[in-house]
Amino acid sequence: MAVRDSWRYVRAGLITLVLVLAFVAGWPARIPKLVRAWPPALARVALLLPSLQEKVLTPFAPAAGALGITSEDWALFTGTGGTRYRMWIEGRAASGEWKLLYRAHDPEHAYLGGALEYRRVMNVWNPHHDWISSSYPAFTRWVARRAFRDFRRLRTVRVRMEEVRILPHGAGFEPSGRFAYEELLRREDVAP
Partner 1 sequence: MIERWVAFWDRREAPYSLALVRILLGTTLLFDLLEAGYFNVVSLLWAPAPSGAGWNASALPTPFGVRVLGASAETARLLWWFAVLACVLFTLGAAYRFTSIALVFALVEIGACQPVRDGIDALLHIVLAVLAVSGAGEAWSVDAWLRERKGKKPRVIPAWPRYLLFLQVIWVYVSAGHQRGHTWGPFGSFSAVGDVLGDPHFARFTPGSLARFYPLMVLGTMLTMTFEVTSPLILLWTWFERRPERGGRLGDFARRFHLRWVWLAAGASLHAGIALSMNLGIFPYGVLALYPVFLHPAELSAALARAPALLRRRAA
Interface with partner 1 includes 172 (CB under 8 A)? yes
Window contacting partner 1 (CB under 8 A); options: 42-50, 93-101, 159-167, 179-187: 159-167
Interface with partner 1 includes 176 (CB under 8 A)? no
Other CB atoms within a 10 A radius of the CB of residue 144 amount to 24
Interface with partner 1 includes 108 (CB under 8 A)? no
Interface with partner 1 includes 32 (CB under 8 A)? no
Backbone angles phi, psi at 147, to 5 degrees: -65, -40
- Rounded to whole angstroms, the Cα distance separating 143 from 88 reads 12
- Total residue count of the chain as it appears in this document: 192
For partner 1, give the closer residue by CB, 81 or 96. Answer: 81
Interface with partner 1 includes 117 (CB under 8 A)? yes
Contact 85, 162 (CB under 8 A): yes
Contact 33, 27 (CB under 8 A): no
Q: Which of 90, 64, 86, 75 is nearest to 33 (CA)?
A: 75
The site for partner 1 (CB under 8 A) is made up of 8-9, 11-12, 15-16, 18-19, 22, 26, 28, 30, 34, 65-81, 84-87, 104-105, 114-115, 117-124, 126, 133-136, 138-139, 141-142, 164, 166-173, 190, 192
